[in-house]
Amino acid sequence: MTNYDAKRAKQFLHVLAGAGAPVYFVPGNMDSVELRDWPGDEDVHALHGRCEYRGSLALIGVGGSPHGPFRSPFEYDENEAALLLEKAVKSYSGGNLILLSHCPPKDTKIDLAFTGEHAGSLAVRRFVEKVQPVLVVSGHIHEAQGIDAISNSTLVNTGPAQRGKFAQIGLNNAVKVDFAKLF
């Protein structure tokens, strides 16, 4: 969100919450590790390793990314990601499950880097295959904005907000995704 600066990230999240709806987030690999442990507050909900409910929606999350060539501030090994996801899903007791994962599932259309390498997370992929959330929302691979699926799970890479890209996602009888650009 803000490249290393936890204070600016929190300010930005509160600006978003000022639009009148709660904000749910996971930190990215370039965000401060301080955000990993911040529980959020009344309007901003940090989902890294957690499960929270909003009506009939159950949201769980994992931020950061697996270790990569860039040595960014918030990286982990795949075993840690698997443990965080297992911990979060233990609090799940029904409803439409949505996974917010900064890093997309490996070997999908939405984890394809410009180098041609699939740079997603194997732990996230295995979790999606096993648990089958209705929706998985990710970012991380900026050039891979798009939609894919694993079994009955819809995968969405929203694209990079720093380039004005975002996705509007509706969840009624089916997942509906519209991509847009602010600037």
Cα–Cα distances in Å, from 121 out to 82, 83, 138? 10, 13, 11
Whole-angstrom Cα distance, residue 126 to residue 72?
24
Q: Whole-model pTM?
A: 0.95
Residue ranges of domains in the chain, CATH in brackets:
6-181 (3.60.21.10)
Question: How does strand 65-66 pair with strand 57-62?
Answer: unpaired
Q: Where are the beta strands (DSSP E) in 77-174?
A: 96-101, 135-138, 146-150, 153-157, 165-171
- Average pLDDT (29-35) is 90
pLDDT in tens, 82-141: 999 999 999 999 999 999 999 999 999 999 999 999 999 999 999 999 999 999 999 999
Whole-angstrom Cα distance, residue 125 to residue 144?
16
